Chains A and B, each alone.
Chain A
Amino acid sequence: MDLDLEQLAQDLKSIVGEGHVHTDLFERINYADTSLPYDVGKEDLPDVVVQPANAQEISGILKYANEHEIPVTTYGSGTSLMFGTKPKHHGITLSTERLTSSDISEDHQWLECGAGLKTGILIKELGKLGYFLPIQTQIGSSMGGALTVNTLGHLTDNVFGGRPISNVLGLEVVLATGEIIETGSKCLRRPSGWDLARIFIGSEGILGIITKVRMVLIPMPQTVDAVGFFKTVEEIGGAIGLMYKNKLPLPMDGEFAGKKACKVGYEALGLDFPEGAMAITRSMGRTKEDATRDAQEMVKLFKEAGATESFILEDPEIAEKVWGVRENAMRWGQEKELKGYLAIEVNPALPRLAEAMTELSHITEGRDDLIGQTEAYLYGHVGSDSLHCLFAFPYDWTTERMKQVVNEIWNLEKELQLKYDGVGGDWGWLPYRVPFYREKYGETSYELIKKMKQLFDPNNILNRGNLEGEV
């Protein structure tokens, strides 16, 4: 790219209008910053941030970028928290934040929205009409971003028809080369056979930019929360296995926290609960009675699995606090003045869940690497077999030391996923997961994805560096 930056900004203004092209330093920093425990450098910044209003303007930008071979990094809302949105080769950062259209059609029984619409806003609007969004990510995340990763957020897999892809009726997509296509249908019968939506959902933005989404409406379920207190997290692992084997209705959402995480959470929220690990579930039904019946079964199950105490959370204020124990994760470590942090995700096969929990409970013990110098907090999901571990460390470590511990933690995650047959990926961290893909699925699969990328994006414009594993 040998284009003059002033000319670049000028040309982009001619496509999207004067007020939607930003070259200011702080705008460029904010659209590049990551939540890694070290700062971005000037070498990480985009040259320009552009905010198109619709698919036509995005098409214009991508055609222009292809003509001049300028990399384009797509930005939804940045809540994947990492570096998928950090430009690896400067260029244009294309934000979808202005694509905020929303149409909830009860006649058609679908919703249609712009990719930049925040899930929190959509959840609120759907709620007013008695519907539920089967994507429960951070409320500031964008619909386009969530579908690009195909993440459910905190919801249990296989409850609302599976992953979001199963509830998508159609997409509007701008291809990397600038053509605009539509996929799917406007009727409730989803396409069989070839459905191009399936190529773009979960492709982490390397093949095209999702600009509009159509999803089926799901009636708002009634919910009831149950909580169980256990001596160890391994007992919770056992309870989750039993839940499936006993063919219990799966909770729509569920969380657990290990002993250390619970202690910090209880203290912060003023909860007087027994020492040890804790699991909370949200059962759902068409009626409150249905949900209560399922929640009672969860209580029974927890007790069978060794819970010292288990009950239905009748008081919504207490329930909110109990969910808050897990939400409090971002403050773990602070009680020990540890402000740097990084979390991992491990998804063990069901029979090995308890074993993985045991290993993660003692993950920092006896290590002579930097991980051994961190404080680890175990938590995760009850419905989905998804475990997280948050590693906290001092924020005044040098940048080099921070980078070293980050690399050690990523490598640990890869090893654990391979060991326990996990996959994960809900946080949308394609760049650092490339080594995992290659080991898990082999070079043939990786090369196939690279060929698809070449086919859709011959100039490697979109999110350049992500598939190459550049972090």
Chain B
Amino acid sequence: MEEQFEEDIEKSLNEALISCEKCHFCNTVCPVVDTRLTQGPFGITRAIYYGLQWNEFGSSLRDLVYSCTTCGKCDLMCKKVSRALPLTEIIEKAREFLLIEKMAGPMPDQVSVLKNMHVRGNPWGNPSHERTNWAQSLDIPFASKDNKVDVLYFVGCASSYDPQAQKIARNLTKILKQAGLNFGILENETCSGHEARRMGETGLFAYLSEANMEMFKEAEINHIVTGDPHSFYSFTQEYPDKCNSIKIQHYSQFFNELVDEGKLKFTAKLKKTVTYHDPCYLGRHSQIFEEPRKLIQSIPGVSLVEIENNKQDSDCCGIGGGRMWMEPPKSLLSSQAIAERRIHQAFDTGAEILLTACPFCNITLNDAVKSLEKEDSLAVMDITELIAMSL
């Protein structure tokens, strides 16, 4: 069985990679490329191809394969001008191959992360009973069979545990309350598994997705709203049957509906010029571009200016694809350097606020603006924070 799996995955990788045109177009849009060919999708996928041909699966191949942020920008470029190879999927499959078949993955720092996801239901290894600590004193009900809710707010690991991202959870629930909704959270919510899958641990992803689906079923959930585009993507694209019996929405979709229905009203005029960074898993991977913009523009006094490389062309913040929990070798571009590039693009817009709609982007871009010592001239925040200010 295992041999068959190895043969299948090797065959599928070979089949895909042999038709690479080697045009290098993919490298021209990759956020990880600095000044070296090998840093981008061209270099990574050719390394996978030759690794398979020459039976070379050492740490240098692993370092390259795990350096990708899985932002998906290369996929679009390949589709536009070349052979439409699913480069991100190939890289993720190679991670799975290295991890399961060759025991050469993941990155050393990610081993404990995967273990934490399995044992404690979150990548940081925080106690699972502390997952809802952010909600203490907010009087948020737990959804269950006995306490049915109209809307389940799926918080996600980052907004549950990370102090910076917890602001998103607090603001999001404040908005839901303001709209007068019957909503709740899961008492035993666990990791969506999105990042486990990105790191090649497909078995763990299956385990976590089943655990979540079981909880959704038990609490008779029909409608989920989340502020985490990574979970949103997995729910709608990767979970069993794509959660097709449940309505899944990112808050930017749901809040627009509430505004249209008159349930969500803004009272304060903010007089702010803002720009918006499209998170990879909300934008390019899930094709949600207009809803966040519409929501931002519905806040009185807010003026939206577009950042360079927006919508489909948005640049990655640098920590997708499992990079949140690893620092690539010095020969590869650091996540901070990638995020700082994005901050520079935000400065060029002249905006005073850089908005995003993802806890990962929020954490990274906030770190980058601090490392550049520019907190005084550019604030980084989630859209929910701006909305909360205008309520």
On A, residues with C-beta under 8 Å from B are 19, 22, 24-27, 29-31, 33-35, 39, 42, 51, 75, 77-79, 81, 95, 97-98, 100, 116, 118, 120, 138-140, 324, 327-328, 330-331, 334, 339, 341, 395
Can you name 5 extra interface pairs (CB under 8 A) apart from A139-B28, A331-B83, A395-B18? Answer: A26-B60, A30-B46, A35-B22, A81-B22, A327-B81
Closest beta carbon of chain A to B102's beta carbon, Å: 15
Closest to A118 in B: B28
Closest beta carbon of chain A to B21's beta carbon, Å: 5
Closest beta carbon of chain B to A60's beta carbon, Å: 19
How many residues on chain B are close to A (CB under 8 Å)? 32
Closest beta carbon of chain A to B52's beta carbon, Å: 11
Q: Of residues 40 to 83 in B, which have CB atoms within 8 Å of A's CB atoms?
A: 42-43, 46-47, 50-51, 53-54, 56, 60-61, 64, 80-83
B23 touches A81 (CB 8 A): yes
- A23 to B365, alpha carbons, bound, how many Å? 34
Stretch in B31-39, B119-127, B253-261 with 4+ CB within 8 Å of A? B31-39
A97 touches B60 (CB 8 A): no
Given contacts A78-B37, A330-B23, contact A26 B47 (CB under 8 A): yes
Residues of B within 8 A of A118 (CB): 28
- A51 to B38, alpha carbons, bound, how many Å? 13
B22 touches A33 (CB 8 A): yes
B24 touches A140 (CB 8 A): yes
B82 touches A116 (CB 8 A): no
Residues of A within 8 A of B82 (CB): 330-331
A30 touches B21 (CB 8 A): no
Closest beta carbon of chain B to A167's beta carbon, Å: 23
Q: B263-304: contact bitstring with A at CB < 8 Å (1 yes, 0 no)?
A: 000000000000000000000000000000000000000000
Contact among B25, B50, B84 for A138, CB-based, below 8 A: B25
- A309 to B362, alpha carbons, bound, how many Å? 53
Closest beta carbon of chain B to A132's beta carbon, Å: 19
- A35 to B20, alpha carbons, bound, how many Å? 9
B37 touches A25 (CB 8 A): no
- A120 to B47, alpha carbons, bound, how many Å? 25
Contact among B21, B28, B46 for A29, CB-based, below 8 A: B46
B21 touches A35 (CB 8 A): yes
B28 touches A140 (CB 8 A): yes
Residues of B within 8 A of A97 (CB): 35-37
Closest beta carbon of chain A to B315's beta carbon, Å: 14
- A308 to B51, alpha carbons, bound, how many Å? 52
A33 touches B46 (CB 8 A): yes
Residues of A within 8 A of B51 (CB): 26
Given contacts A118-B28, A327-B81, contact A26 B19 (CB under 8 A): no
Contact among B25, B35, B47, B80 for A51, CB-based, below 8 A: B35
Residues of A within 8 A of B56 (CB): 25-26
Closest to A53 in B: B35
By CB atoms of chain A within 10 A, which of B22, B37, B38 has the most?
Answer: B37
Contact among A29, A75, A79 for B47, CB-based, below 8 A: A29
A79 touches B24 (CB 8 A): yes
Asked if B331 is an interface residue, CB under 8 A from chain A, the answer is yes
Residues of B within 8 A of A34 (CB): 22
Closest beta carbon of chain A to B12's beta carbon, Å: 15
14 A-B interface contacts by CB (under 8 A): A26-B60, A30-B42, A31-B37, A39-B50, A77-B37, A78-B37, A95-B36, A98-B35, A120-B28, A138-B24, A138-B25, A140-B28, A328-B81, A331-B83
On B, residues with C-beta under 8 Å from A are 18-19, 21-25, 27-28, 35-38, 42-43, 46-47, 50-51, 53-54, 56, 60-61, 64, 80-84, 330-331
Residues of A within 8 A of B47 (CB): 26, 29-30
- A369 to B83, alpha carbons, bound, how many Å? 27
Prevailing SS type, chain B contact patch: helix
Closest beta carbon of chain B to A441's beta carbon, Å: 31
- A395 to B17, alpha carbons, bound, how many Å? 11
Contact among B35, B36, B43, B60 for A25, CB-based, below 8 A: B60
B19 touches A339 (CB 8 A): yes
B35 touches A100 (CB 8 A): yes
B50 touches A26 (CB 8 A): yes
Given contacts A29-B50, A30-B46, contact A334 B19 (CB under 8 A): yes
Closest to A27 in B: B38
Closest to B18 in A: A395
- A19 to B332, alpha carbons, bound, how many Å? 10
Closest beta carbon of chain B to A445's beta carbon, Å: 32
Residues of A within 8 A of B25 (CB): 138-140
A330 touches B38 (CB 8 A): no
B18 touches A339 (CB 8 A): yes
Which are the 3 A-B pairs with shortest beta-carbon distances? A35-B22, A26-B47, A339-B19
Contact among A29, A79, A116, A339 for B35, CB-based, below 8 A: A116
By CB atoms of chain A within 10 A, which of B27, B35, B54, B83 has the most?
Answer: B35
B18 touches A79 (CB 8 A): no
- A42 to B47, alpha carbons, bound, how many Å? 14
Closest beta carbon of chain B to A343's beta carbon, Å: 11
Contact among B19, B43, B61, B330 for A19, CB-based, below 8 A: B330
Closest to A120 in B: B28
Residues of A within 8 A of B84 (CB): 331
- A79 to B82, alpha carbons, bound, how many Å? 13
Closest beta carbon of chain A to B137's beta carbon, Å: 50
Contact among B19, B23, B42 for A395, CB-based, below 8 A: B19
Contact among A22, A116, A139 for B331, CB-based, below 8 A: A22
Contact among A24, A35, A116 for B60, CB-based, below 8 A: A24
A330 touches B37 (CB 8 A): no
Residues of A within 8 A of B18 (CB): 339, 395
Residues of B within 8 A of A334 (CB): 19, 83
Given contacts A138-B23, A140-B24, A330-B23, contact A26 B61 (CB under 8 A): yes
Closest to A396 in B: B18
- A109 to B47, alpha carbons, bound, how many Å? 43
Residues of B within 8 A of A339 (CB): 18-19, 83
- A22 to B38, alpha carbons, bound, how many Å? 11
By CB atoms of chain B within 10 A, which of A34, A39, A395 has the most?
Answer: A39
- A455 to B82, alpha carbons, bound, how many Å? 42
- A266 to B53, alpha carbons, bound, how many Å? 36
Closest to B308 in A: A124
- A90 to B104, alpha carbons, bound, how many Å? 30
- A34 to B23, alpha carbons, bound, how many Å? 10
Closest to B47 in A: A26
Closest beta carbon of chain B to A131's beta carbon, Å: 18
- A79 to B64, alpha carbons, bound, how many Å? 21
Given contacts A26-B51, A77-B24, A77-B37, contact A330 B81 (CB under 8 A): yes
- A33 to B64, alpha carbons, bound, how many Å? 17
Closest to A25 in B: B56
Closest to A18 in B: B330
Closest to A82 in B: B22
- A55 to B51, alpha carbons, bound, how many Å? 35
Closest beta carbon of chain A to B348's beta carbon, Å: 10
- A174 to B331, alpha carbons, bound, how many Å? 27
Residues of A within 8 A of B36 (CB): 22, 27, 51, 95, 97
- A327 to B77, alpha carbons, bound, how many Å? 12
Closest beta carbon of chain B to A288's beta carbon, Å: 24
Closest beta carbon of chain B to A179's beta carbon, Å: 25
Closest to A334 in B: B83
Given contacts A24-B60, A31-B37, A334-B83, contact A79 B23 (CB under 8 A): yes
- A78 to B42, alpha carbons, bound, how many Å? 11
- A77 to B25, alpha carbons, bound, how many Å? 11
Residues of A within 8 A of B35 (CB): 51, 97-98, 100, 116
